[in-house]
Chain A
């Protein structure tokens, strides 16, 4: 079964490693991904809060292209933000006839239409539900034994999509345990990273949230965080220095995309997983698990 793949803008620039490792892991697991041709930005949450209609139109364009190019295929994303907003577009278009009409007008300008047949999925959920434990475990050659990982999903993975328990999602922890990692009990798994507040005048709020995320992971013995969203990833990784300066802490916790950890367990190499590009090096941590 093939999936239409929508990488999202972040994966072209700031979090290339996520995109790289996704392709590598999909290849190793036999998951057929076809990148959506000529995709555009999802608009992200700032655009949605300012002009929701254009955001819906932007996303309907991607969905319409997916429907045209690969009818019947699910659209897979790896970013919680893109996932959330495309999923929301689908829901709103299905329930709001007036919106459907206005978005339809916008799409007509480029001779496109969207009939609502594309299902939006998150890669993590596809791996857990479509491939499943057995298929994945069969391919694991380097189980991550002894690696203490805190599964950090962020708030928009299971909310409001409902693909996992909204308050206490388990998908990431399940996947990590299948590949042999020691999954740290991490209650903040679905707590907010501060999102775009980090780039606003409310930065203090975001720093506090990231501090809490890091403090609890370290306290519970995590040697790294696994993420499934580029924005969460950026906040918890890139701002550790600022958190340390603000709170007098000394966090230096590697943060890895779940696809990178999965790739390591499948025996994939450093370069194809984009390892070495992380801001807090995970080289020493992963060395025992890499050939």
Chain B
């Protein structure tokens, strides 16, 4: 990330949001709202003094998935690029009460600027790569797992932060009361492969669940249970890793965790979390008392995927992820020429696949720009200006926004037209024809197909 930040041809507009995209391949105009971070990027050196001195503390850290805290002025995470903090105005004493201003007073560079405002930047770009990622399934939606209700039920991301050496517990796996867990259950497929939420497999959770088991084993003596529907350890080196964990003594139970409860049925369950499941290999219902439960929450399209799709002219598949032009032959292209997708915004995928897809998207986008021109579809709409009344019906009808009214008549943007023919059908003055699909050609074709053939 640092080398990206330092690259002379790359400008990072962090803490920004694309508000509007207009134009077409090779000539996009993009409006980006750069949000006010109340710190001048040019002056800030990233020394971190403001963060250290800020008195508004104990705010749940988004990056630490809510199990760690941050201040009101904070660096999103340790390796953030650019290394410039941001002020969270909802928790900042200055913004809430008009007092304090400690960061401003103490900043040796005078970089803190409470007056800073959002800035809208307009960019001319030739191609766009959308890589907006995913959201994790929120297990509050599945209350039977006790998340947010019972202590020591964690999501995968919360556990990731806990096991991280630079995380809030310094890499220690700890229960709420500070003890080390003696038994940990990892529940696969929470929010995935579930008719109630998402029917698809989130693809990465089996492997990260295995990784979690391995990591817990490294730092504790805990007994670990993995509850899975099917073990999907496909991919290079993955099956071998699964085998290794089997040898490490992790207990694998084939059966989806059904419920996590603190309702005890015997003395051995006192003070424990009880994971209920059907062990489908034993053909038995089981109650497994544990100290900690990690919910392997599935991947979902981001909450704002609808708006982003609208902004960039993308389609979405039934599962809500952005739709590629062709699942095999055009996996990074989209229905909008010049707009590419990469990573989990297109569908759940792991890091190697994401990196590969990102590389592919970059190469295709660069190749397109390097050529400097684009090949048009042969069959595109053409307007007969003489006949066009300028009613605008076709402008409304075009699903690709490829038609505009120019000087009182319709004009087709040839690079954007996909040759679908919708406008032809809508045109009341019959002023639009689709090249290679003219009425004359179609009639001739029909004549040919329906001609009488004399059989000798």
Is the CB–CB distance between A168 and B263 below 8 Å? no
A165 to B143, CA, bound (A): 9
A188 at the interface (CB under 8 A from B): yes
7 interchain pairs (CB within 8 A)?
Answer: A165-B143, A167-B143, A187-B261, A187-B262, A212-B263, A216-B263, A219-B264
Q: Give the 10 A-B CB pairs with smallest separation, nearest first.
A: A168-B143, A167-B144, A216-B263, A187-B263, A187-B261, A167-B143, A188-B263, A165-B143, A168-B144, A212-B265
B142 at the interface (CB under 8 A from A): yes
A188 to B262, CA, bound (A): 10
Give the shortest distance, in Å, between B85 (CB) and chain A (any CB): 40
A187 to B265, CA, bound (A): 13
Instruction: Write out the residue numbers on chain A whose beta carbons fall within 8 Å of the beta carbon of B265.
Output: 212
Give the shortest distance, in Å, between A15 (CB) and chain B (any CB): 26
Give the shortest distance, in Å, between B266 (CB) and chain A (any CB): 11
Instruction: Write out the residue numbers on chain A whose beta carbons fall within 8 Å of the beta carbon of B259.
Output: 167
Is the CB–CB distance between B142 and A167 below 8 Å? yes
Instruction: Write out the residue numbers on chain A whose beta carbons fall within 8 Å of the beta carbon of B261.
Output: 187
Instruction: Write out the residue numbers on chain B whose beta carbons fall within 8 Å of the beta carbon of A188.
Output: 263
Scoring B residues 240 to 269 as 1 if CB is less than 8 Å from chain A, else 0, what string do you get?
A: 000000000000000000010111110000
Instruction: Write out the residue numbers on chain A whose beta carbons fall within 8 Å of the beta carbon of B143.
Output: 165, 167-168
A168 to B145, CA, bound (A): 10
Residue of A nearest to B144 (CB): A167
- Sorting the interface of chain B by its residue count into under 10, 10 to 19, 20 to 34 or 35 or more gives 10 to 19
Instruction: Write out the residue numbers on chain B whose beta carbons fall within 8 Å of the beta carbon of A167.
Output: 142-144, 259
A216 to B142, CA, bound (A): 22
Instruction: Write out the residue numbers on chain B whose beta carbons fall within 8 Å of the beta carbon of A165.
Output: 143
A219 to B262, CA, bound (A): 11
Scoring B residues 129 to 152 as 1 if CB is less than 8 Å from chain A, else 0, what string do you get?
A: 000000000000011101000000
Instruction: Write out the residue numbers on chain B whose beta carbons fall within 8 Å of the beta carbon of A187.
Output: 146, 261-263
Q: For window 169-198 of chain A, which residues contact chain B by CB distance below 8 Å?
A: 187-188
Instruction: Write out the residue numbers on chain B whose beta carbons fall within 8 Å of the beta carbon of A219.
Output: 264
Given A167-B142, A219-B264, 14 extra CB contacts under 8 A: A167-B143, A167-B144, A167-B259, A168-B143, A168-B144, A187-B146, A187-B261, A187-B262, A187-B263, A188-B263, A212-B263, A212-B265, A216-B263, A216-B264
Give the shortest distance, in Å, between A202 (CB) and chain B (any CB): 16
Residue of B nearest to A213 (CB): B263
Instruction: Write out the residue numbers on chain A whose beta carbons fall within 8 Å of the beta carbon of B142.
Output: 167
Most buried by B among A165, A168, A212: A168
Most buried by B among A167, A187, A216: A187
Give the shortest distance, in Å, between A175 (CB) and chain B (any CB): 18
Instruction: Write out the residue numbers on chain A whose beta carbons fall within 8 Å of the beta carbon of B264.
Output: 216, 219
Residue of A nearest to B263 (CB): A216
A211 to B144, CA, bound (A): 21
A219 to B143, CA, bound (A): 21
Q: For window 9-27 of chain A, which residues contact chain B by CB distance below 8 Å?
A: none
Give the shortest distance, in Å, between A281 (CB) and chain B (any CB): 27
Give the shortest distance, in Å, between B195 (CB) and chain A (any CB): 12
Residue of A nearest to B150 (CB): A187
Give the shortest distance, in Å, between A166 (CB) and chain B (any CB): 8
Give the shortest distance, in Å, between B261 (CB) and chain A (any CB): 6
Give the shortest distance, in Å, between B411 (CB) and chain A (any CB): 51
A219 to B270, CA, bound (A): 12
A217 to B445, CA, bound (A): 79
A61 to B143, CA, bound (A): 38
Scoring B residues 257 to 285 as 1 if CB is less than 8 Å from chain A, else 0, what string do you get?
A: 00101111100000000000000000000
Residue of A nearest to B146 (CB): A187
A187 to B262, CA, bound (A): 8
A165 to B142, CA, bound (A): 9
Instruction: Write out the residue numbers on chain B whose beta carbons fall within 8 Å of the beta carbon of A168.
Output: 143-144
A168 to B149, CA, bound (A): 11
Q: For window 80-95 of chain B, which residues contact chain A by CB distance below 8 Å?
A: none
Instruction: Write out the residue numbers on chain B whose beta carbons fall within 8 Å of the beta carbon of A216.
Output: 263-264
Give the shortest distance, in Å, between B420 (CB) and chain A (any CB): 36
Scoring B residues 365 to 398 as 1 if CB is less than 8 Å from chain A, else 0, what string do you get?
A: 0000000000000000000000000000000000
A43 to B265, CA, bound (A): 34
Residue of A nearest to B141 (CB): A165
A283 to B146, CA, bound (A): 35
Instruction: Write out the residue numbers on chain B whose beta carbons fall within 8 Å of the beta carbon of A212.
Output: 263, 265
A259 to B263, CA, bound (A): 27
Residue of B nearest to A185 (CB): B149
Give the shortest distance, in Å, between A215 (CB) and chain B (any CB): 8
Residue of A nearest to B259 (CB): A167
Residue of B nearest to A220 (CB): B263
Give the shortest distance, in Å, between A209 (CB) and chain B (any CB): 11
A15 to B142, CA, bound (A): 34
Give the shortest distance, in Å, between A31 (CB) and chain B (any CB): 29
A212 to B261, CA, bound (A): 13
Give the shortest distance, in Å, between B197 (CB) and chain A (any CB): 12
Residue of B nearest to A216 (CB): B263
Instruction: Write out the residue numbers on chain A whose beta carbons fall within 8 Å of the beta carbon of B263.
Output: 187-188, 212, 216
A168 to B265, CA, bound (A): 20
Give the shortest distance, in Å, between A72 (CB) and chain B (any CB): 32
Residue of B nearest to A166 (CB): B196
A188 to B144, CA, bound (A): 10
Q: For window 107-147 of chain B, which residues contact chain A by CB distance below 8 Å?
A: 142-144, 146
Residue of B nearest to A219 (CB): B264
Give the shortest distance, in Å, between B295 (CB) and chain A (any CB): 14
Give the shortest distance, in Å, between B371 (CB) and chain A (any CB): 55
Residue of A nearest to B261 (CB): A187
Give the shortest distance, in Å, between A28 (CB) and chain B (any CB): 32
Give the shortest distance, in Å, between B263 (CB) and chain A (any CB): 5
Give the shortest distance, in Å, between B276 (CB) and chain A (any CB): 11
Give the shortest distance, in Å, between B72 (CB) and chain A (any CB): 33
A247 to B298, CA, bound (A): 42
A167 to B196, CA, bound (A): 12
A187 to B143, CA, bound (A): 10
